[in-house]
Amino acid sequence: MTTSTVPAAPGVPAASAAPRGDVRTRVGRAAVAAGGGLLLGVLTNLAQGWLPDTWQQLANSGAVWSAVAFAVGAVLYRHERLVQAASGGAVAEVGLVVGYYGYAEFGRDGAGSLFFPLVWLGLGLVAGPLFGAAGWWWRRGLDVRRRVLSLGAFAGLWGMEGLMYAVDLGYMPEAYACLALFVLIPLLMARDHKERALTLGAAAVCGLVAYGAVEVPLQMLSA
């Protein structure tokens, strides 16, 4: 018995499976994002015991954790597609939450209620893709608008944290440190003077929006 194959129609390329090397590379990047997030989650928990006094809260702040997703998109997934950078950011944020609360549960006195781990997991599944994509846009964006928006959103996180420390907690040294990063990120990471000015403006708007949408509800939940 013989078998035959039907040739592809003229002008239509034959379908082929994804190369194994590409699959291994993508799995490897996802593993690095997950493992890095897990390790950094443990380290941020430990840092709360290492840092003095009111600086302890900065270790596991939303801005610090979102910076991990931004770095994953900008560095680890810079040669991949946008959707993969977003998924990599989500994987890193899940790793951070699991590492932080896993160490609290098994390395300390227990994580307590599942309420806040689930809250942070939900926030991570939103912030991770957003800032993974933002890092990719900043690194590979060909138009000014996307670069400004992505870097402005990242810098705006530090503005949000600065407002929280100054207004809600009254921790002024920490507020000044966050606000310094709020200014320095556009100045050092934007491509030219015009983009620096536009990014600072976008960061101011993003910081205020994030403060109202994230910090105010979290303060209400923590009360």
pLDDT value at residue 21: 66
DSSP letters along 44-74, please?
Answer: HHHHHHHS-GGGGGGGG-HHHHHHHHHHIII
Burial class (CB in 10 A: 0-12, 13-18, 19+), 131: buried
Is 80's pLDDT higher than 80?
yes
Averaged over 118-139, what is the pLDDT?
96
Is 179's pLDDT higher than 90?
yes
Averaged over 131-151, what is the pLDDT?
94
Q: In terms of pLDDT, which residue wins out, 23 or 82?
A: 82
What contacts 183, CB < 8 A, 6 or more positions away?
155, 200
Give Cα separations from 62 to 21, 77, 114 (angstroms).
35, 21, 18
- Condensed to tens digits (0 to 9), the pLDDT of residues 9-59 reads 444 444 444 566 688 889 999 999 999 999 999 999 999 888 887 788 888
Averaged over 131-142, what is the pLDDT?
93
Global pTM reads 0.87
pLDDT value at residue 16: 45
Q: Lowest-pLDDT range, 10-24, 50-64, 105-119, 203-217? A: 10-24
Could you give the dihedral angle defined by the CA atoms of residues 24, 29, 33 and 36, in that order, rounded to the nearest 10 degrees? Answer: 90
How far, in Å, CA of 153 to CA of 71, rounded? 14
How far, in Å, CA of 16 to CA of 151, rounded? 38
Averaged over 143-156, what is the pLDDT?
96
Q: In terms of pLDDT, which residue wins out, 211 or 49?
A: 211
